[in-house]
Structure formats: C-alpha cells, structure tokens
Amino acid sequence: MFGFKPRLPVTEDERLWVDGGFRSLKRLIGEKRLLECDLIEPTDEYFPDRYDGSEAALRAIFNRVCDYMKVDGSKVNLEVIPDASELKELLPSYSFRTNDPAGLHFGQDSGEKPLIGVRKSLLKDPLTVVATIAHELGHVILLDGGLLARDAEDMEPMTDLVTVYLGLGIFNANACRRFHKYQDDRREGWSMHRLGYLPEEVFGYALALFAKERGESDPHWISHLSTNLKAYFKQLAAWLSKNSQPQA
C-alpha cells in the first residue's frame, strides 16, 4: 500500500558482510561442508545422551559437537572454567573473551593442544552449552587451523558465522539472547544477556542464506527457532528468493 516496501531487519552493510562471509568460508573450508553438513537440531536424535549438568555430560556434548563440526576432539582440551569474577588471574594474553564470557578459547602455544573452556554456571543450560562449544570450536577451526588471523577485525563475528555454515546455527542464533530468572531478598524478575557477537537479525539472514544455498525453500528446522528469529528468517528468506544472485 502507498508504494512502500517492507523494511528489512538487517542493514545493507550487514547483509553484504554475511554474503562475503559465506564466500570466504567457501574458499577457506569448502562449499562441500556447507552443502553436506547436517543441520543439527535440539532433539534426542542429535543429542541422545542424558544431560544432568555434570562434567561427564558436558564431555558427551563436546564429543558430539566435535563430530558435527568435523573437529578431532582428541586434539582439543576441554575444561570447565570459573565464572567471570574468578577469571582475571587465569587468562593468558592469547585467550579470547568478552567481559562476561560464556566460553574461552586458549590458542595453541608451543605445540600444546588448544583448550576451550565452558563457564561453570552455564552447565545447567544444555542449549547454551552446545552454542558455547560450537563457537569455541569455530575458533579452533579458523584460528588454530590458520584460516583467519587472530587480529582480524571481524574474527569473532566470523566465528559466529562459521557455526551457521557448519550446521549449528539453530543453537547459536537462539542463544544470542537468553532470558534468565533472578531473585534476591527484595525482588525477582527476568534479566537478559547476549551470547556471541552477531545480533538476532543477522543470524536470521545467515540462516536464510544457509537454507537458500542448500536449496531448502521451507526447511522444517525453523520450528526450533525463537519467535523473533523465525520471523526474521521468513522475511529474509522471502527477500532472498526474489532478489539475490547465486553466490560466486
């Protein structure tokens, strides 16, 4: 009506960055990985192990995510790390972190295995655990694999993007915003924190591009996306079907 076009939830710069990121990942790790990977869903089919928040359960998830991302888990160390208030004296200069990190990647040094850590308080949330492990394994693939420079300006967003490219996008997109109940002596309510570096809208576009590249016009797996993400995905997938050119 009135000649107005619907406004996309992503900016032109964000859209072009995702397009370029996919082209880069095709060059770095191969288009075959994109086309042939399983889209991993939060179901018993992909995660059949009983989850009780223990370190043994964390290890089981780690092993499965390694398999899905084609990382040799025997060549990566896994640790449970303290929460942010206890981390300051433990972080080497080559780790990657946010102010309140969900996980950490300790890069290879002097021939030692890379190490990834998952924050102890996150063990109660298996979906966030999967997303954290996937992100940190993205560091292993891109950084320890020598595919991306550690000081690259968009290193962390590219690490988020590789989780989509390799089929773990449902987890990392949903985990980019998580609501948690808080309660103290005087109040209770809900707080929200962000996990990862890409906003929901950009994850929505990346997932839509993932589906388009694989020829999935109406993928069943979008049922696992949050309400906002599902809306972004549908709008952006519709835009892609009408406007985008094949990826080079």
Range of the domain at 146: 12-243
pLDDT, tens digit, 9 for 90 and up, residues 165-196: 999 999 999 998 754 443 444 444 443 344 55
- Other CB atoms within 10 A of residue 217 CB: 9
Residue 121: per-residue pLDDT: 86
Residue 87 lies in a domain: yes
What is the total count of domains within the chain? 1
8 A C-beta contact, residue 126 and residue 119: no
Residue 2: inside a domain: no
Residue 1 in domain: no
| Residue segments in the chain with a per-residue pLDDT below the cut of 70 | 1-6, 83-111, 178-196, 244-248
Q: Report pLDDT for 87.
A: 45
Residue 5: the pLDDT is 57
Minimal CA–CA distance to 197: which of 130, 56, 102? 102
For residue 233, is it within any domain?
yes
Domain-embedded: residue 6: no
Query: Do the domain assignments include residue 207?
Result: yes
